[in-house]
Amino acid sequence: MTRTLLHPAAKVVLFLLCVAPLAWLVYGAVANQLGANPAEALIRGLGDWTLRGLMLTLAITPLRELSGLAALARFRRLLGVFTFVYASLHLLAYGWLDMGLDVPEIARDIAKRPFILMGFAAWALMLPLAATSFNRAIRLLGAKRWQALHKAVYAVSVIGLMHFIWLRAGKHNFAEPAVYGVILAALLGWRVYRRATR
């Protein structure tokens, strides 16, 4: 398994898997396959994949330690970058398809609707993480400061989940947010347990 994970093609496969949901959403939009409200479906789909990307990125360390497959760590950065790409496209789709790229109106909407404010806050926290996701940034910041900065991903995941819960609260639909909540609680709980046992 380690040999497979270390193979150069492994990252290519992961890259294609990360691109696949976006390709499907774009195809659905072009082919008019996203239902009665394609704009909403596209925005929601990009948001869903952002949240899934966060969960997968956070799952890398527990999976690596529990399985003993240290090579899994080499995929964390790629997953993190793709998560930011999906978050940025989610924000862009909202700004473009919902608000017509009217920046003053977008700013008023962010200030007026708490769930949008939470989503924007999560994206803003992700921005410095994406901007420092390359090796030179680690050298410039120093390993300790870089690691401290990238612990913000925990806050991003919680705020992102709150954004999703608040969105679904309007329709009293908490089933899907509850699933993400359980997964996130398990991932963060594992980290608390590991820190306590150390």
Helical pair 152-169 and 143-150, crossing angle rounded to 10 deg = 10
Residue 174 belongs to what domain range?
A: 2-197
State residue 143's pLDDT score. 87
**CA dist., res. 150 & res. 25, Å (int):** 29
**CA dist., res. 60 & res. 137, Å (int):** 21
In the chain, how many domains are there? 1
Question: In sequence order, what E strands does 106-187 have?
Answer: none
**CA dist., res. 17 & res. 89, Å (int):** 17
Write out the chain's pLDDT in tens, 198 residues: 888 898 989 999 999 999 999 999 999 999 999 888 999 999 999 999 999 999 999 999 999 999 999 999 999 999 999 999 999 999 999 999 999 999 999 999 999 999 999 999 999 999 999 999 988 888 888 989 999 999 999 999 999 999 999 988 877 778 889 999 999 999 999 999 988 887
**CA dist., res. 84 & res. 64, Å (int):** 22
The residue count of the chain comes to: 198
Gyration radius from the chain CA atoms: 18
In terms of pTM, does the model score above 0.85?
Answer: yes
**CA dist., res. 15 & res. 82, Å (int):** 9
State residue 2's pLDDT score. 83
